[in-house]
Amino acid sequence: MEMKQPITIKVFGGEQKCASCVNLPSSKETAEWLEAAIARKFPNQVFIVEYVDIFTTTEGDNFLFAQRVVEEDLFYPVVVIHDEIIAEGNPRLKDIYDIMQQHGYQHPAV
């Protein structure tokens, strides 16, 4: 399977942690952690991790989704790939890896 274009992984969240996420890393820290973990799993393969602050974004699709996160009281960070929610709260790397592999990303043989 061949990759068509790089996947964009959007991490929606805020500086203030949601009530049930107090002991977890911040949304921004989660975005940075995801980026590092995915880069290790799929070296030399291009992808984008975009952090979106749900309280400060003001336009476009990101704004509309940020509103949804707030209005529906979703647990953030909310991880989104291709407009599909992959994780709420503490994301599971395996779920994200599986989706990336479905889109042609390959883990190199050891």
Please state, in angstroms and rounded to a whole number, the distance separating the CA atoms of residues 18 and 100: 27
pLDDT for res 4 = 67
| pTM of the predicted model as reported, rounded to 2 decimal places | 0.89
How far apart are the C-alpha atoms of 40 and 24, rounded to whole Å?
A: 22
Q: Give 21-51 pLDDT, tens digit per residue.
A: 667 788 999 999 999 999 999 999 999 999 9
Query: Would you state the structure tokens that stand for residue 89, as one six-digit string?
Result: 């709260």
Q: Which portions of the chain are predicted below pLDDT 70?
A: 1-4, 17-22, 110
pLDDT at position 15: 79
Q: Quick one: fold of 7-102?
A: Glutaredoxin (3.40.30)
Q: Could you tell me which of 9, 8, 11, 14 has the C-alpha nearest to residue 70?
A: 14
